[in-house]
């Protein structure tokens, strides 16, 4: 005779929560994103400081225009500089730069193309949805370079 065996139903183990895992993954992801952002900011700042200190005259000129610092940008112009064939002093330059910003938007991007010699530079300027070329002519005076003429801002 066989003895009936009582069988207990299999007990299920309680399902473990993955909440802790997701908190850890989220925290690590947030730290990585913050670290990457800081890294990019440091690199960008370093590049801008390098241009500010060591960049060419056109680069420094346009860096200040992008920043809206027209007074400093005007210091890269020769005292007898012309824009679009018209003589400009500091005040005239500031008026022209502000008028260009109002009409076309602020400068958002610049690329440079040095012509056959370093005294002629073409800057492709992007403002709003518009891009155009500005031809700069540089001249060395008393050991420093200045922009003597520009066709556009």
State the alpha helices, DSSP H only, in 55-153: 57-67, 70-74, 90-104
Cβ neighbours of 123 (radius 10 Å): 22
In a 3-state reduction of DSSP, which class is residue 95? helix
pLDDT of the residue at 81: 94
Least confident of 32-46, 58-72, 91-105: 32-46
| Global confidence as pTM | 0.62
In tens, the pLDDT along 5-38 reads 655 556 666 666 788 888 999 999 999 999 888 8
pLDDT of the residue at 46: 57
Contacts of residue 115, defined as CB under 8 A and 6 or more positions apart, other chains included, come to 121, 122
Q: Tokens standing for 21?
A: 């895992």
Q: Domain segments of the chain: what residues?
A: 20-54, 58-151
pLDDT of the residue at 93: 95
CATH architecture of residue range(s) 58-151: Roll (3.10)
pLDDT of the residue at 14: 63
Contacts of residue 94, defined as CB under 8 A and 6 or more positions apart, other chains included, come to 70, 71, 74
pLDDT of the residue at 47: 52
The closest of 76, 54, 90 to 121, measured between CA atoms, is 76
The C-alpha atoms of residue 16 and residue 39 are separated, in whole angstroms, by 38
pLDDT of the residue at 51: 45
């Amino acid at each position: 005779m066989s003895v009936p065996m009582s069988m207990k139903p299999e007990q299920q183990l309680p399902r473990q929560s993955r909440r802790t895992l997701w908190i850890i993954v989220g925290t690590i992801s947030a730290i990585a994103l913050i670290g990457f952002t800081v890294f990019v900011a440091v690199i960008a700042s370093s590049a801008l400081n390098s241009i500010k200190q060591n960049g060419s005259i056109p680069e420094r000129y346009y860096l200040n225009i992008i920043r809206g610092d027209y007074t400093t940008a005007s210091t890269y112009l020769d005292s007898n500089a012309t824009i679009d064939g018209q003589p400009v002093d500091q005040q005239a330059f500031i008026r022209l730069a502000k008028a260009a910003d109002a009409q076309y938007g602020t400068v958002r991007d610049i690329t440079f193309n040095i012509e056959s010699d370093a005294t002629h530079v073409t800057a492709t300027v992007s403002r709003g949805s518009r891009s155009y070329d500005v031809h700069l002519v540089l001249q060395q005076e008393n050991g420093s370079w200045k922009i003597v003429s520009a066709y556009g801002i």
